[in-house]
Every structure is written in structure tokens, then in C-alpha cells.
Amino acid sequence: MCVQRAVEAGAAANAGNTGVIRLGCTPLLGGAGLLPQIRGAFAKRSGSVLLFVQSAYTTAQLDQLLYGGLDVGLVVLPVVRDELVIEPMHRFRLILAVPERSALAERLIVEPEDLSEQPIVWFGKSINPFLYQHFVECCQRAGFTPNIVHEVSTVMEILDVVAGGIGIGFVKDSIPRRFRPEGIVFREINTPVLSLEVGIAYRRDTRSENLLTALEVLKQIVLPAQ
């Protein structure tokens, strides 16, 4: 009987009929304020279906989506995985976090060419190689090659390293509204190409009721107003 129940539970999980929506969320979205909105919307929309949120980097989420550990993932783009549907949802502008004693802190808007020799703090290549390469290519399109001297895992690490005077960081434009770390000032960059895009990822062959509910809620919350 125990074996049979285990088999039935596994089949239900793969079909998305367990009464639980398993959502992956990248920690690189720290400070975006999305999770409270998502939880509130799920509570109103999904009735008896529970929302289980797992913090995981994009690369880990992709594997869990493929092997049944997650129903849907909130990931940082770009993502390359043919077995998954990837829907871009929202784009955050990137701004500069600079030490308050830096020469860049004296300017309200920083030109891209002023960043070519600056030591830069960015998310580690091992965490998301696609994002790392995308950032490098965006910087090059803006007119400079980034001098990445320190790789981190989270937004808060970027702020800590910048506050220590080790380099400058690139963060979402929502960060200054949520955090006021000592020793740091935030500055605009005079280029539109530096941004961070968020998307929803899910298996192509999954069409459960749970997934449809999750997609409906996520698109209402994450999709920017038109």
C-alpha cells in the first residue's frame, strides 16, 4: 500500500494535481518587491491550491522544471533551453551603485565611456553563464568592456562590496526605493541597453490546471502596465 501511494503521489505531482503550485524564484530579484504581490494574488485567485516558493538560481530552476521539481519558474533572462517555454515578462533598468567617495558619485548621470576603467562587481559566471555573457555584451554595445573584478551571488553582496570601496555595481532601478545602504549612492547611466529582464519558464508538455492558474497570476503581477 505504501508503494502504491508513493506511485500515485508521484504521478499526481507530475500532472500538477497535488493542490500545490511549486514556484521557483531567483534570488537575483532581491528587492523587487514581487513575492508579496505574488503571494497575495495567489491567495485571492487559487482558492484551496497552495503556493510553495523555492529560492533557486535560474540554472537550478531549469533543471528542476525539466525533472518535475517545479511547476513554473521566475527566471532571469536570457535562457536557452528548448524543452521549456520562456515568456519575457518585465525589464528592469540597471543603474549604478557607487561608493559615496568615488568620483562618479559627483555626477548625477554617468556616461558609458566613463566606466571602461572602473572595477565592476557583478553576478558570478558560475551562477548564470548566460546572464554573465549577456551583461558583457550589453556593456560592449554601450561602448565599454566591463572590468569585472569581483563576482557575487546576491544583490546584497553587490551592495556590501560597493560599500567597501572595492568597485562599482549594477543594480535594478527599484533598489534605491527599498534600500539606503550607508556608503553608497545610486546614479543613472546614460544608455538604454543596460537592463535586467525577468521571464516565466515552464515545460512545453505541461498543461495542468495548477500551471494555468500560476501563469495567469504571474502575468497579472509581473507584466508591466501597458
Q: What is the pLDDT of residues 93-115, one digit of tens each?
A: 999 999 999 999 999 999 999 99
The domain that contains 100 carries what CATH number? 3.40.190.10
Q: How far apart (Å, rounded) are the C-alpha atoms in residues 120 and 129? A: 17
Q: Which residues pair with 94 in a beta bridge?
A: 172
Contact (CB, 8 A) for 13 and 68:
yes
Lowest-pLDDT choice from 4-13, 62-71, 208-217: 4-13
Q: Are residues 104 and 181 in the same domain?
A: yes
Same structural domain, 60 and 138 = no
Q: How does residue 223 score in pLDDT terms, banded at 50, 70 and 90?
A: low
Residues 189 and 97 in one domain: yes
CB atoms within 10 A of CB 173: 14
| pLDDT for the residue 165 | 95
Q: Are residues 100 and 191 in the same domain?
A: yes
Q: Decide if pLDDT at 32 tops 60.
A: no
Same domain, 170 and 218: no
How far apart are alpha carbons 100 and 91 in whole angstroms? 27
- Give 73: exposed, middle or buried? Use CB within 10 Å, 0-12, 13-18, 19+: buried
Residues 205-211 have a mean pLDDT of 78
- The verdict on 176 and 210 lying in the same domain is no
* Domain match, 18 and 66 both: yes
Mean pLDDT lowest for which of 31-35, 66-70, 86-90? 31-35
Half-sphere CA count of 87, side-chain side, radius 13 A = 13
Same domain, 66 and 115: no
Q: Are residues 71 and 25 in the same domain?
A: yes
Q: What is the mean pLDDT of residues 190-205?
A: 91
- Pull the grid cell for residue 110: 554617468
**33 — pLDDT class (breaks 50, 70, 90):** low
For residue 226, what pLDDT is reported? 38
- Whether residue 10 sits in one domain with residue 34: yes
Over the chain, what is the mean pLDDT?
85
Q: Which residues contact 161 (CB under 8 A, 6 or more apart)?
A: 121, 150, 152, 167, 169
Domain count, the chain: 2
pLDDT score, position 187: 96
Residues 98 and 189 grouped into a single domain: yes
H/E stretch holding 129: helix 129-142
* 174 and 205 belong to one structural domain: no
Q: What is the span of the domain harbouring residue 9?
A: 2-90+197-222
Sheet strands (E) in the chain? 20-25, 50-55, 72-76, 84-99, 109-110, 119-123, 147-152, 168-172, 184-189, 195-203
